[in-house]
Amino acid sequence: MTLIAFLFAAVMGKLIYIQIINSKNLQIKALDQWTRDIPVVGERGDIFDRNGELLADTFTTYTVYVRPVAVKDKYHTSLALSEVLSLNREKLFIKMLSKVSEITVKKKVTKKEMSDIINYGGVSGVYFSPNISRYYPYGNFMTQILGFTNIDGVGQSGVEAYYNKYLQGKNGYILTETDLVGRELDDSITRYIPGKKGDNIYLTIDYYIQQFAENAVENAFVKYNAKSTSCIVMNAKTGEILAMAQRPSYDLNNVPRDNVVELFENSKSILVSNVYESGSTFKILTTAMALDYEVMTREHSLHCPGYRIVDGQRIRCWKTIGHGSLSFDEGVQNSCNCLFMDMAQKIGAKNFYKGIEYFGLTKKTGIDMSGETSGLVIPYKDVKTVDLARMGFGQAIAVSPIELVVASASVLNGGRLMKPYVLDRVERDNKTIFQNYPIERNKTISKNTSKEMREVLELVVTDGSGRQAGVNGYRIGGKTGTAQKYENGVIAHGKYLSTFLGYAPAEDPEYIILMMVDEPQGGLYYGSIVAAPYVGEIFKNIFEYKDIPPSTLKPKEHFAMPLLEGLTVAQAKNKLYNLGLYYEIVGEGEKVVKQIPIENSFVTTDNIVLIELG
């Protein structure tokens, strides 16, 4: 009796386990045997600019499936699918003869193609699953920021990948009752479980400012037949990225998936992923360090013979014939390399390295974009005095453009090093579930030094090499940059990186812009001529768009460009000085053989004159 009672209890326990405890799992297994499910891709969240302009949308396409056991006439069905979908009929027919339960025929089928299959007649065992395809209303616009998705709607680059966890929708299913071999039952019931849309995200990008930047990089790319052009516009106070554009690029609705090299090169943001010897734009940081460490003041003066001897090496100023006697402000305005070599040596290696650490050049900025790299700096233990001198004017140190912009913004905003970011907020069902805020990483310089730097750099635009970034009636500051490029450790002849970094309004900077033209062709390569005008153009557009009133600056005088060709260097300099025009000199010789702008061109005191000697 005891054995019988034990066996009865065991059976009852098993029944309780099966019917109550494990019933849910068994129901799921049974449902899986009775049904065939087709996934319904959840709609991907939309991407908007800061003002609600739609930047990434979705539209419905279909995936076509075939269940071979449910196909009554395999030849006819394979023929219909191959004709409508432009597929190989023989390969499709062979797949239908296989024992597999389900075949994916084609993805991203249009609604018209689906209708043509249905209306073909005599087709059986064919099923359609709706899914979502990405659409970018502006095509080749913000390509590297937005990124793209794969055929399954998963982010692969840019914001699409970085914030995929928010954008990705939740899949649903279409469930159909079948027999044991997968044939749909005559009285079957189809159940539809809808997918759930992903979250919408709003960027810090301003569509209109982005458009200004896109136009600038496109025009510079074409005009100078450059290797690449790029531009960042950032809020200098908060770190919000307002625009980020580059060329070459591609249309996000026509991603070059068949060319892996092109896809990789043009998908990454060179403003975040690449590092460069930035040349004279780096001098902003050297100047700020010199003033903040109080190793120099604006009362300092110097003589530039065209070079300095450091560690027994002759390091040339960019103006090989020398600038002569200069004040501190004039040295910055004229971007005299000798002044910045003096600054770096007075600062000293220990403080210089401490400074570049404060400016965030030894680690990533933390921008919410994939592929960010950090600057390349000679290890402190290995740096020599000659290296330090070169670093002072932007050589022997490489930084990413975003690092340079963020560090320079701290020089202008009172010494606050901000974390840059492109995501403003995330919304779900019209409610904000995540909001980004400005983050201050650390202090770089004092407020007093920042004020002095704004004054010094404004003079670069009003009286120095940055004149072509000026906008009539507005106060703008900045710094030009013309960096020679290196290949295999030696200077690459004729290859330059032309840059301009500008900010406005000069008295209380809100906008900071970096424009880069890599390897401009055609003989012009100075940042003052190649890059600065595009920054001025962007600023002009921003002032109009934001309805920013002009300051009380006097309007620029207009006049005809005089003839300089044939004059001696001294005669040409004297004539330009009397007209209030800034000039750049190319070559060495006694007389002017070429000038830009040409004689009788309509110019203002904003123009920079290029003089070629011979």
Is residue 390 a contact partner of residue 424, using CB atoms and an 8 Å limit?
no
What's the mean pLDDT in 518-534? 92
What's the pLDDT at 456? 96
Could you tell me the pLDDT band of residue 534, with boundaries at 50, 70 and 90? Answer: very high
**Least confident interval from 27-41, 361-375, 572-586:** 27-41
Flag whether 345 is in a domain. Answer: yes
What is the C-alpha to C-alpha distance for residues 528 and 506, in angstroms, rounded to an integer? 18
Flag whether 610 is in a domain. Answer: yes
What is the C-alpha to C-alpha distance for residues 541 and 555, in angstroms, rounded to an integer? 18
What's the pLDDT at 174? 59
The residue type of 473 is: G
pLDDT per residue over 135-184, tens digit each?
999 999 999 999 999 887 899 999 999 999 999 988 776 555 554 444 55
What's the pLDDT at 175? 58
Please enumerate in sequence order all residues whose Cβ is within 8 A of that of 183, keeping only pairs 6 or more positions apart, or say none.
67, 69, 70
What's the pLDDT at 212? 98
Q: Do 483 and 523 have their domain in common?
A: yes
Q: Do 529 and 473 have their domain in common?
A: yes
**Least confident interval from 21-35, 204-218, 509-523, 571-585:** 21-35
The values of phi and psi at residue 221, to 5°, are: -60, -45
What is the C-alpha to C-alpha distance for residues 306 and 290, in angstroms, rounded to an integer? 21
Q: Do 467 and 321 have their domain in common?
A: yes
Share of the chain above pLDDT 90, in %: 60
What's the pLDDT at 359? 97
What's the pLDDT at 593? 85
Tokens 């997968």 correspond to what residue?
Answer: 182
- What count of residues does the chain have? 614
Q: What is the CATH number of the domain that holds 610?
A: 3.30.10.20
Q: Do 461 and 491 have their domain in common?
A: yes
What is the C-alpha to C-alpha distance for residues 445 and 358, in angstroms, rounded to an integer? 9
What's the pLDDT at 532? 95
Q: Domain count of the chain? A: 2
Could you tell me the pLDDT band of residue 36, with boundaries at 50, 70 and 90? Answer: low
Could you tell me the pLDDT band of residue 20, with boundaries at 50, 70 and 90? Answer: low
Where among 549, 565, 585 does a domain terminate? 549
Could you tell me the pLDDT band of residue 41, with boundaries at 50, 70 and 90? Answer: low
Q: Do 381 and 490 have their domain in common?
A: yes
* Rg over CA atoms, the chain: 33
Residues with a known catalytic role: 280
Is residue 246 a contact partner of residue 211, using CB atoms and an 8 Å limit?
no
Please enumerate in sequence order all residues whose Cβ is within 8 A of that of 168, keeping only pairs 6 or more positions apart, or say none.
42, 44, 45, 153, 154, 155, 198
Domain that includes residue 430, residue range: 207-549
Starting at the edge strand found earlier in the chain, the sheet holding 191-193 runs 35-40, 172-177, 191-193
pLDDT at 272 over 60: yes
Q: Do 543 and 571 have their domain in common?
A: no
Flag whether 564 is in a domain. Answer: yes
Q: What is the CATH number of the domain that holds 326?
A: 3.40.710.10
Where among 529, 549, 569 does a domain terminate? 549
What's the pLDDT at 98? 85
pLDDT per residue over 432-489, tens digit each?
999 999 999 999 999 999 999 999 999 999 988 898 999 988 999 999 999 888 777 7
Q: Do 563 and 540 have their domain in common?
A: no
Flag whether 271 is in a domain. Answer: yes
What's the pLDDT at 419? 98
What is the C-alpha to C-alpha distance for residues 611 and 614, in angstroms, rounded to an integer? 10
pLDDT at 367 over 50: yes
Q: Do 227 and 369 have their domain in common?
A: yes
What's the mean pLDDT in 28-43? 56
Flag whether 194 is in a domain. Answer: no
Top mean pLDDT of 37-46, 533-542, 604-613 is at: 533-542
Side-chain-side CA neighbours of 12 within 13 Å: the count stands at 6
Flag whether 400 is in a domain. Answer: yes
Q: Do 536 and 569 have their domain in common?
A: no
**pTM > 0.85: yes or no:** no
Q: Do 534 and 586 have their domain in common?
A: no
What's the pLDDT at 522? 86
What's the pLDDT at 181? 46
What's the pLDDT at 555? 57
What's the mean pLDDT in 379-384? 95
The residue type of 322 is: G
Could you tell me the pLDDT band of residue 559, with boundaries at 50, 70 and 90? Answer: confident
Q: Do 267 and 388 have their domain in common?
A: yes
What's the pLDDT at 128? 83
Strand ranges, E, within 99-140: 103-109, 126-135
What's the pLDDT at 30? 46
Where among 516, 549, 582 does a domain terminate? 549
Flag whether 31 is in a domain. Answer: no
Q: Do 540 and 561 have their domain in common?
A: no
Higher-pLDDT residue of 389 and 606 is 389
DSSP letter for each residue of 207-242: HHHHHHHHHHHHHHHHHTT-SEEEEEEEETTT-BEE
Flag whether 143 is in a domain. Answer: no
